[in-house]
Amino acid sequence: MPVTRREFLEKSAAVAAAGFVPRLPDDFGLNLSAGTAPGSLVEGSGAPAVLKGRARPCVVSSSNGLRGVKVAYDQIVSGADPLDAIIAGVNIQELDPEDQSVGLGGLPNEEGVVQLDASCMHGPTRRAGAVAALEDIATPSLVAKAVMDYTDHVMLVGAGAKKFAKAMGFREQELLTEKSRQDWLRWKARLNANDAWLDHDDDVRIKFTTGTINMNAVTASGDLASVTTTSGMAWKVPGRIGDSPIVGAGQYCDNLVGAAGSTGRGEANIKTCASFLIVEFMRAGMAPRAACLKALERVVAMTETRLLGPNGRPKFDLEFYAVAKDGTFGGATLYSGGKFAVCDERGARLEEAGFLFRR
């Protein structure tokens, strides 16, 4: 059931010193070795998976969530709600100025403004929340959860999302760090050889990222949650949002089946609603990794010609992560070499992801 405002603020107290100041408002070749431990799901064609006995607690994330999966797992085995736990996990990246793809220090849009996106889902209550193009608030994952907890809506965007966040007690702060500002100046200086901007550093490679953090979890009782948060594609057109804040694309969770999420080129993912698709593949009996690989096949089939190389393969990469209701997990990428983070009874570690194509 929804938490009260007081409970939300109390659960978020640990984040307060790092950017959240609570106050009451005024009004997927197949490499299938890792992550395929025997499970206890009864799988039927097209039927929801049924859990026999207790699940194996597990948290799965993009590789940049290695620290976060340990935090989230420890909280889950201590009895925390799965969504609260994984949001605490992604907050680590959101508040890390050295991570230039999430939250504070994220690379800005073409105008030098950092705009953040996030979405989350809570399996037990079947609820979701999201924010997009949010400025000046470092933890959009928490704002997305507040949208879920306190409104009848799923997504708030732009100025409205910021106004809501401020009313909920989130502190405004400058998100553009000096490191990211210098990278923006390098990019800007190379836009046009005939403009008035001098080259910033001739030998510096321009950064370009579509980085994000996605995290999914299951508890011992089989309850699931998912969250994805990002600063989006570097140098994007102002107002652009990717898949991260879109429920069913950036992440998806069904408490009867499992949870899944993504990082990488959001535009490719939006067209396939791939996180939702992965969960539906798992519902039909696929293991998490196989489901991620199958979704990647759909992505390739839906890729427009201008984004395909001479070999017919996408010029971009896309990564998926998934966990089933019994605690089995998997991850997959378009190209070999990818890893993802996981934490279960074996501890926090990086696992090799399955892949469609060798580099």
Residue-range domains of the chain with CATH: 5-176+209-357 (3.60.20.30)
Measured distance CA(262)–CA(251) in Å, rounded = 6
Report yes or no: 241 and 132 within 8 Å, Cβ to Cβ: yes
- Quote the pLDDT of residue 19: 42
Write out residues in the chain with pLDDT < 50, as ranges: 13-48
> Tokens 């049924």, residue?
50
Q: Cα–Cα distances in Å, from 280 out to 38, 218, 240, 258, 292?
A: 20, 17, 28, 9, 11
- Element (DSSP H or E) covering residue 278: helix 274-283
Residue type, 274: A
- Quote the pLDDT of residue 189: 81
> Residue 36: is it exposed, middle or buried by C-beta count within 10 angstroms (0-12/13-18/19+)?
middle
| DSSP-assigned letters across all residues of 181-198 | HHHHHHHHHTS-TTSSPP
- Quote the pLDDT of residue 330: 98
- Quote the pLDDT of residue 21: 38
Contacting residues for 106 by C-beta, under 8 A, at least 6 apart = 99, 100, 114, 116, 175, 180, 230, 231, 232
Measured distance CA(118)–CA(212) in Å, rounded = 10
- Quote the pLDDT of residue 92: 97
- Quote the pLDDT of residue 12: 54
- Quote the pLDDT of residue 75: 98
- Quote the pLDDT of residue 17: 39
- Quote the pLDDT of residue 29: 34
> Tokens 């659960």, residue?
11
> What count of Cα atoms within 13 Å lies in the side-chain half-sphere of residue 111?
8
Measured distance CA(55)–CA(46) in Å, rounded = 21
Report yes or no: 96 and 79 within 8 Å, Cβ to Cβ: no
- Quote the pLDDT of residue 5: 58
- Quote the pLDDT of residue 96: 95
Catalytic residues: 212
